[in-house]
Amino acid sequence: MNEMYTLGLSIHSFGTALLLAVFVLNIFLLLKASSLQKYKRLNSIILLPLTTSILGSAFFTGIIMMAAKHLDFTVENIVMIFISLILLFLEVKRHKTLKYISTKQENSLQIFRLFGLKILYIELGLSFSMALWMWLV
């Protein structure tokens, strides 16, 4: 049983590292975007499924680890749940804003870039602080 728990923690840790990499990839691609229409297409085809699947895998492995601990809520677990909900809310807000921003509006890419980068930096900071806490505790 202890080996399964250790393996689960390793998988959860790997998912968290992937989540950090996906946020960095999102930041890089948003900074390199030259057209809002092309970025929207890239986001809908590649980035949205990638981000949500990695975020979902981190959530799922966290839920499995909570079940393995018999739902023993510690301060660390409550903070991780709270940060996970914030990350989910921010991702929904970012994707919904991108979906409804007009490509015909002048400077729409710059307007979204400021908004998107702010959200992505917040998500990166939250997930990095959560990962540091998870790896050091």
Mean pLDDT (whole number) for 84-108? 93
pLDDT, residue 10, reads 86
For residue 1, what pLDDT band results from cuts at 50, 70 and 90? low
The set of residues, in sequence order, having a beta carbon less than 8 Å from that of 61 and lying 6+ positions away, is 8, 11, 12, 15
Mean pLDDT (whole number) for 15-23? 93
Model pTM? 0.89
CA 86 to CA 76: how far, in whole Å? 15
Mean pLDDT (whole number) for 71-100? 91
Mean pLDDT (whole number) for 59-88? 86
- Asked whether the predicted pLDDT for residue 69 surpasses 80, the reply is no
Mean pLDDT of the chain: 90
Region of poorest pLDDT, from 40-44, 68-72, 98-102: 68-72
Long-range contacts of 78-85 (CB under 8 A, 24+ apart): 79/130, 79/133, 80/130, 80/134, 83/126, 83/127, 83/129, 83/130, 84/58, 84/59
| Count of beta carbons in the 10 Å neighbourhood of residue 23 | 25
Q: What percent of the chain has pLDDT over 70?
A: 99
